[in-house]
Structure formats: C-alpha cells, structure tokens
Amino acid sequence: MERIRKYGDKVLRRKSKEVKDIDEKVQKIIKDMKEVLFRAKGIGLAAPQIGILKRIFLAIHPDNKNLIVVINPVIVEKSGKEIDMEGCLSFPGVYFSIPRAKKVVISGINEKGKEIEIEGDGLLARCFQHEIDHLNGVLIIDYATEEEKKLWKEKLQQIKRNGS
C-alpha cells in the first residue's frame, strides 16, 4: 500500500510527466490512488503525492460523491475569484488561506482513454486547481503569507522531520 508523501519530500516539487498510454501500469496507479484517497478521507489526490510523477489526479465530487479521474488535465477556462482555507494530505493539519478561480473548466482523459471536459465551481474548482498544482510541483505553502508560515512554523518543521 502506497503512503502519502509529506511536505519536505523532494518528489512533491517535481513536474509530472504526461501519460502516453493508459496501460495496465497506469490502471494500477489509479487503483492504488483510489485506495489511498479513500483511506485518507481526502477530497483529492495527485499521483506525485504517492511518489509517482505522472499527470493523474483524482477528485471526489462534493455534491454527488462521484469519483473523478483525470489524466493529463489542462485548465481551459477560469472565472471569478475567491479566497478560502485550504488543506492538503501532504500537509496534515495545516491550512492556508488561498485565492483560486471560483469556476474552472478542465479537459483531459479519463481512465478509459476517453477525452473529457469537466466544469467545476466552488470546492470542486478549488480541488481541480489544487491537484493540477501538484502535477506542476506547486504546493499550498507557495501561496501562504509570511504570517501564515510563521503561524505554522513548528507544525511544518514537524511534518518535514517525521512526515506527520
């Protein structure tokens, strides 16, 4: 069973590679990611968070609880703006106030290789942007103010030291 990589793990800072073929290996990555996401009770998970540098993320729709799998996601449209508290499975117990587009449209392919386009607003839009950031090596701390970093300094050091 894969473990969630925590803040300080170098893999979280690397850019993920595009998925060329949806083969058995990719299906296994998605299966592992589903298990990790459900076990962690998160709302989203990107492949780098389990140490795999592939452009894949999962999100749980906040309304209908359907699982969304997106491979090679791209944000094609953004609108509005809102600031809200945001956490991350790689930063257990830490929250930052982060500005994001209120509504986004993303495109990519699903686990069956079919091209998809999904519109998300509110929490779902925030989740999409957060997970795509992970695929680009961007973390929530990159949006944090100096005050927020000071507030969470001890907790962040603890996460870096022992991964929790």
- What residues does each domain of the chain span? 10-162
- pLDDT at residue 164 in the model: 62
CA distances from 60 to 2, 37, 56, 64, 148 (A): 19, 9, 14, 8, 27
- pLDDT at residue 162 in the model: 81
The residue written with tokens 């990611």 in the block is 33
Task: Reply yes or no on whether 131 is catalytic.
Answer: yes
Q: Give start and end residues of each alpha helix (H) in the chain.
A: 24-40, 123-135, 146-151, 153-162
- pLDDT at residue 2 in the model: 78
Q: Which CATH class is domain 10-162?
A: alpha beta
- pLDDT at residue 1 in the model: 60
Q: Which of 82, 131, 148, 154 is catalytic?
A: 131
With a cut of 70, which residues of the chain have pLDDT below it?
1, 164
Query: Considering the entire predicted model, what is its pTM?
Result: 0.96
3-state secondary structure of 86: strand
